Structure 1
Amino acid sequence: MDGTHFMRARRLLGKTQKQMAELLGISLKAVCSYEQGWRRVPPHVERQVYFLIASRRGLAEGMTPCWEAKDCPDERRRCCPAWEFNAGRLCWFISGTVCECNAHRNWDEKMRICKECHVLGQILDMFAEP
């Protein structure tokens, strides 16, 4: 997530920079630094921002679980934490999911795959240029 996307997310949530800092448990200076592009948005903040947008907009409730959308076989479902915890609408939020037949080692690797998937794509579409 870059500074422009962070700012759009904050605006989608209807928050000032100060309110966003309080909501995320970070400093106002960090919010300003992200939006200006002086600092990279850390993975835990990016994850929380996507979660808040999905929750606020009610997107998660209307979505098809990822294992159904991707037609995952039973053996893959059984070893995936998204299926185990019935979180197929928020699979991008959970580390260790088994997309592309492998568990992801870190957040950046996971996000490269998730950002191309329609499950997270529904949230990311809100960040598209008007």
Structure 2
Amino acid sequence: MAQILGTSLKAIHSYEQGWRTIPHHVERQLLFILSRMDPEKQDVKKCWDIIDCPDERRENCPAWEFNCGDMCWFINGTICSGKPLKDWKTKIALCKSCRVFNHFFDQE
């Protein structure tokens, strides 16, 4: 796990024990890896279809531009809330309540 995430084994232990907060770049990488593990979850609708995104918002969104509406939670600068979210902490908090994100990370 440490090698895949580009961090030390000691850091992984610290995250697991709650001694250190997982850095945003490590969390993002981990979520990406986890999202690719279940082949049955790879066929998901695009975010703009799920949330019925208006054309004017869609056309300014990087998820639309790069045709990665199933990975909108991974892409910085998406405008799901009507404006680009400037930092990962704010963005992932919004994403965690979204059906696109939860398709990959549901607890059931």
Is TM (by shorter chain) over 0.5? Answer: yes
Aligned with 1:87 (options 62, 68, 76): 68
State yes or no: 1:99 paired with 2:80: yes
Structure 1: which amino acid aligns with 2:16?
A: E
Aligned with 2:54 (options 50, 68, 73): 73
Q: Kindly provide the CA deviation profile for residues 54-78 of structure 1, in whole angstroms up to 9, marking residues without a partner as x.
A: 1121355211100010111111111
Q: Who is 2:12 aligned against?
A: 31
Structure 1: gaps (5+ residues): 1-19
Deviation of residue 44 (structure 1)?
0.6
Identity %: 49
Report the Cα distance in structure 1 between the residues aligned to 2:89 and 2:57, rounded to whole angstroms.
Answer: 22
Q: Who is 2:102 aligned against?
A: 121
Q: Choose between structure 1 and 2: higher helix proportion.
A: 1
TM-score using structure 2 length: 0.94
Deviation of residue 123 (structure 1)?
2.5
Q: Number of residues paired by the alignment?
A: 108
Report the Cα distance in structure 1 between the residues aligned to 2:27 and 2:34, rounded to whole angstroms.
Answer: 11
Report the Cα distance in structure 2 between the residues aligned to 1:59 and 1:115, rounded to whole angstroms.
Answer: 20
Structure 1 segments (4+ residues) deviating >2 Å: 58-61
2:47–2:70 contact (8 Å) kept in structure 1: yes
Deviation of residue 100 (structure 1)?
1.3
Aligned with 1:42 (options 23, 26, 39): 23
Report the Cα distance in structure 1 between the residues aligned to 2:41 and 2:81, rounded to whole angstroms.
Answer: 22
SS of residue in 2 equivalent to 1:79: coil
1:80–1:96 contact (8 Å) kept in structure 2: yes
Structure 2: gaps (5+ residues): none
TM-score using structure 1 length: 0.79
Name the Cα RMSD after superposition.
Answer: 1.3
Aligned with 2:93 (options 112, 124, 128): 112
